[in-house]
Structure 1
Amino acid sequence: MKLPALLRAAVAAPSAAVSTLALAALALTGCAVQRPPAQVAVPMPPAWQAPLPHGGSVARLGAWWQEHLPDPLLAGLIADAQALSPDVAQARAQLLQARAQQVAARSALLPQVDGQASASRGFNEQLGALATVAQAGVQAGWEADLFGRSGAQADAARERSDGARAQWHAARVSVAAEVAQQYSNWQYCTRQLAVAEADARSRGETARLSAESERAGFTAPATAALASASHADALVRVAQQRLQCEIGVKALVALTGRGEPPLREQLAAAPALQPQQALFAIERLPAAVLVQRPDLYAAEREVAAASAEVGAARAERYPRLQLTGSIGRGWVSTSLGNTASNTWSIGPVALTVPLFDGGRRAAQVEAAQARYESAATRFRALARQAVAEVEQALERLDSTAQRSSDAERAAAGYRRSFEATQARWSAGLASLVELEDARRTQLASETALVALQQERMAAWIALYRAAGGGWDPAAAPQAEAPPPA
């Protein structure tokens, strides 16, 4: 009889008891125990309390850097930093691990098949001669998922895989925001340095003229000393500001891994950062924006995974049914001839009923329930934190927008006042004290204007991060793979 025929015979000929147990297993398969809710309701405000930029029209943030800050250097720095970041690498490794665990958990729902083969040669007492004995066979086993234990474990693994994918995106968004912040800080630092250097040059020219006037006997030594001290003070501020810019370059080197000499050349050739007045829009409803937060999505998936694990732990307290079977073929070769035989079996059908375990399974259910409560609490807290982060970024944007025009008008007015006072001083109609007072006011206004521009850019970057950085769970395919290491 051939092997397929043997399989058909094996299926057709089990005993009545085996048939009854197998049919009962099939009937019970898919009956799952109750789980806690896989999604946790979080109260959301009906609208943002802070003013929305640009009226709150809908816009995606995915290509934010390229669309609104078209700086090739910034895009390249972000890509280098993401490739080098240990946080992104760790998130990628966790994603690959979660996907492997998902495959392993899903395999528990399928039959397990193993092949075996053996051969031996020796004296056979039954045949009374030397014999070569060879055997080959296939063994199969399957556990009926009576109460949904394996299915729940597969669900938990799938949810964690989705959450790990979102965490990988969250790490990339965080790195992009950090690089953009450091790059903008350096840009505005150089602007502050330019203001300080211009002020130092102006003070230096005043000190030079005062020194010449003192030598000619037209200026008192105290007045010349004041001009010289003012110039020295300006040089100190220039050195301090230059130090901050140098620290910014070092930070970019550490983030991106680029060599410092070529990076300095690239920074020197980079155009000035000129962000638009409204870099991107944001939706009116908080829930529509927060769904784009990859960390919030990952926390929600952890709640679903913990819910599935509660169901799996409860299913451990119920009976388990396993079915095994095998088919094989054997050969015996002696000097008298060769013989072959086929074997097959279905069973045993094993039913395991938990009776006493000292409370171990009940404790596992309580532990799984506690993990679920912890995940739900963390999700609620993260949702509240996300709302607060967006609200704070919106408030900062609105505040900087309200102050921008006044700050520009103040800087222009103080600049004109200083120029007029300087002209009066050159004509001998104003004292050096008046000139220095006008200079200090003008320097403070110029410095405050650049600082306000930097604050506004920082608020945009904070909103980019708080709104999820353009990640969209609906647009990203489930099979999306991270880039190679």
Structure 2
Amino acid sequence: MLRSATRLLLGGALISAAPAYADTLREALLRAYQTNPTITGARAAQRASDEDVPIARAAGLPSVNAGTDFNENLLRGGNSFSSPARSASASTNLVVPLYRGGAVRNSVRAAETRSEAGRANLRGTEASLFTDVVAAYNDVIRDEAIVGLNQQNVRVLEVNLRASRDRFQVGDLTRTDVAQSEARLSIARAQLQSAAAQLIASRETYIRLVGDPPGELAPPPTLPNLPASTDAAVATALADNPFLIAAARQRDATRFDVGVARAARLPQVNGVVGGSYQNFLGSLGAGTSTNVGQSGTAGSLGLSLNLPLFQGGRPAAQIRQAEARRGQAIEAVTETERGVVAQTRSAFALYRSSLEVIASSETAVRANRLSLEGVRAENSVGTRTILDILNAEQELLNSQVNLVSARRNAYVAGFNLLAAMGRAEARDLGLEGGPLYDPLVNYNRVRRKINDWDSDGEPAPVATPTATTPAQDATVTRPLDPLLDTPVDRNPGLSTGSVTPVRR
């Protein structure tokens, strides 16, 4: 019931994104789900794993073989009855396995269990891909905001530098004021270049995951049903994390592998039905007066028993090897469990910490806004310098960058938490755009197939290439902060120069 509620709430949240934007998070996730090569390749690997079941079953099914021979005796004795000149034969054998020591049964159960593990791993691959997409989506939003803020800062500082130089020419400011403006502008330009490079990298990562360039991205929807405590998150993760489920299934499969190995030292019984036809093509008794038949048929029905007595210790070695691999699989479950617990607790802590950072950053932004307005007002009456305004603007810029980064970190940590809990797969996100991929459909299709001539044909590419997508740039069209989009120096008109400070 909780999983259904999560699916409905998160699906509704993803669908309810504002339509004014070119891209929403749901659309990005859907495109990645349909065209990302990581997930499409994992589906193909799972289909290949499904085939291990009919392969294992085939060892316990009857087999039919037919053969034919033609012999021409180039050298033969004088008795044509013992060495006819030529002969042709055909035979057919039906072998029915009756007892294989449990090897077939255990092989089939091992293959079925590994197919279940593969389906769980496919769930985990979906969750990992969606986590990467969510991170890339939020990285683009964050970096666009940071680039926009830095572009705005550079433009304002350029205007300020021009004003400072003009005021220096008429003696209102000193060379120190101009140098401070030049230094701040140089630093701002360097910060803008770094932010622009990061934005380009984030957009290219988005293309790698989603397959298309990002448009104007809508704000991501609220993540629903996040746990209230670490213990609740860990309990859900231990029950539903797909990688932990996959490790447990792999461990279970090794128990059947031990049974397969033990079957190598047990008897094997087959039922055998055979028929043959032979024709000497008129060469039997050639040259004699005896009239003999030149062809004949034969049929047989029996049992075949193979009783291993000594195999040089090979079965015992295979059993010990299978037991050791089972021990490895048991330890792998513990290792995976530790990773899931650590991932869940870390994601929960980072999410809660990011919420606190968001609250602090919002407070800092509000305080820095008031501070900047106050410093500008005080500068207009001569109690604050240009440097004070530059410092106040830098503080506001830094707090705004911290805020957008904290919002990104909180959202990604929250989604990581859902992924660790097994709540971040396609069926949980309410993705639309066609039926979701169901690996059980292929498994049920192939598990009992016995046609030797069956084939699915040459596979066609599913994932879309990105070589034709345009190289990304750092263009930003988002609205900017009007408070920062004003000149630093807003004093009244330039003085007449009657009161000129000492130039340095």
TM-score band by shorter chain is 0.7 to 0.9
Alignment of 1:123-142 (within 5 A): 137-142=91-96
Per-residue deviation, 1:88: 4.0
In structure 2, the residue matched to 1:94 is 45
Check conservation: 1:279, 1:460, Cα contact below 8 A: no
Residues 1:338 and 1:371: Cα distance change in structure 2 (over 3 Å): same
Q: Distance in 1 between matches of 2:161 and 2:12?
A: 48
Alignment of 1:260-409 (within 5 A): 263=213, 267=214, 269-272=215-218, 274-281=219-226, 284=232, 286-328=234-276, 343-354=298-309, 356-409=310-363
Per-residue deviation, 1:372: 0.1
Check conservation: 2:281, 2:294, Cα contact below 8 A: yes
Per-residue deviation, 1:170: 2.7
Q: Distance in 2 between matches of 1:430 and 1:118?
A: 108
Q: Distance in 2 between matches of 1:405 and 1:450?
A: 12
Q: CA RMSD in A?
A: 3.8
Secondary structure, counterpart of 2:64 in structure 1: strand
Count of residue pairs brought into register by the alignment = 419
Q: Distance in 2 between matches of 1:313 and 1:252?
A: 48
Per-residue deviation, 1:217: 1.5
Q: Deviations over 1:310-329 (max 9, x none)?
A: 11112222222233221356
Check conservation: 1:58, 1:282, Cα contact below 8 A: no
Q: Distance in 2 between matches of 1:121 and 1:189?
A: 83
Secondary structure, counterpart of 1:276 in structure 2: coil
Check conservation: 1:156, 1:305, Cα contact below 8 A: yes
TM-score by length of 2: 0.71
Query: Which residue identity is paired with 1:152?
Result: N
Q: Which runs of 5+ in 2 are unaligned?
A: 284-290, 429-436, 444-455, 462-504
Per-residue deviation, 1:348: 4.1
Q: Deviations over 1:410-432 (max 9, x none)?
A: 20121122022113223433222
In structure 1, the residue matched to 2:480 is none
1:112 and 2:63 are equivalent in the alignment: yes
Residues 1:434 and 1:72: Cα distance change in structure 2 (over 3 Å): closer
Check conservation: 1:135, 1:330, Cα contact below 8 A: yes
Q: Deviations over 1:297-345 (max 9, x none)?
A: 2211211111101111122222222332213566788799999865321
In structure 2, the residue matched to 1:162 is 116
Q: Which runs of 5+ in 1 are unaligned?
A: 1-54
In structure 1, the residue matched to 2:391 is 437
Check conservation: 1:68, 1:279, Cα contact below 8 A: no
In structure 2, the residue matched to 1:151 is 105
Check conservation: 1:56, 1:282, Cα contact below 8 A: no
Q: Distance in 1 between matches of 2:5 and 2:27?
A: 28
Secondary structure, counterpart of 1:478 in structure 2: helix
Q: Distance in 1 between matches of 2:327 and 2:82?
A: 69
In structure 2, the residue matched to 1:189 is 143
Per-residue deviation, 1:139: 0.9
Query: Which residue identity is paired with 1:299?
Result: A
Q: Distance in 2 between matches of 1:69 and 1:271?
A: 10
Check conservation: 2:36, 2:211, Cα contact below 8 A: no
Instruction: Give 2:193's match in structure 1, choosing from 239, 247, 269.
Output: 239
Query: Which residue identity is paired with 1:181?
Result: A
1:59 and 2:6 are equivalent in the alignment: yes
Higher mean C-alpha displacement, 146-155 vs 161-170: 161-170
Secondary structure, counterpart of 2:384 in structure 1: coil
Residues 1:330 and 1:79: Cα distance change in structure 2 (over 3 Å): farther
Q: Deviations over 1:230-283 (max 9, x none)?
A: 22222221122111112222333444555xxxx3xxx3x4234x2334344459
In structure 1, the residue matched to 2:129 is 175
1:478 and 2:440 are equivalent in the alignment: yes
Query: Which residue identity is paired with 1:219?
Result: L
Check conservation: 1:136, 1:328, Cα contact below 8 A: yes
Query: Which residue identity is paired with 2:6?
Result: A
Secondary structure, counterpart of 1:219 in structure 2: coil
Query: Which residue identity is paired with 1:315?
Result: A
Higher mean C-alpha displacement, 334-343 vs 457-466: 334-343
Secondary structure, counterpart of 1:60 in structure 2: helix
Q: Distance in 2 between matches of 1:480 and 1:65?
A: 31
Q: Distance in 2 between matches of 1:56 and 1:329?
A: 66
Q: Deviations over 1:45-97 (max 9, x none)?
A: xxxxxxxxxx9995139859944768746556556656776644653443233
Structure with bigger helix share is 1
Query: Which residue identity is paired with 1:245?
Result: L
TM-score by length of 1: 0.74
1:412 and 2:366 are equivalent in the alignment: yes
Higher mean C-alpha displacement, 108-117 vs 79-88: 79-88
Per-residue deviation, 1:185: 0.7
Q: Deviations over 1:184-223 (max 9, x none)?
A: 2121101011111222233333333322222221222212
Q: Distance in 2 between matches of 1:140 and 1:404?
A: 74
Query: Which residue identity is paired with 2:441?
Result: A
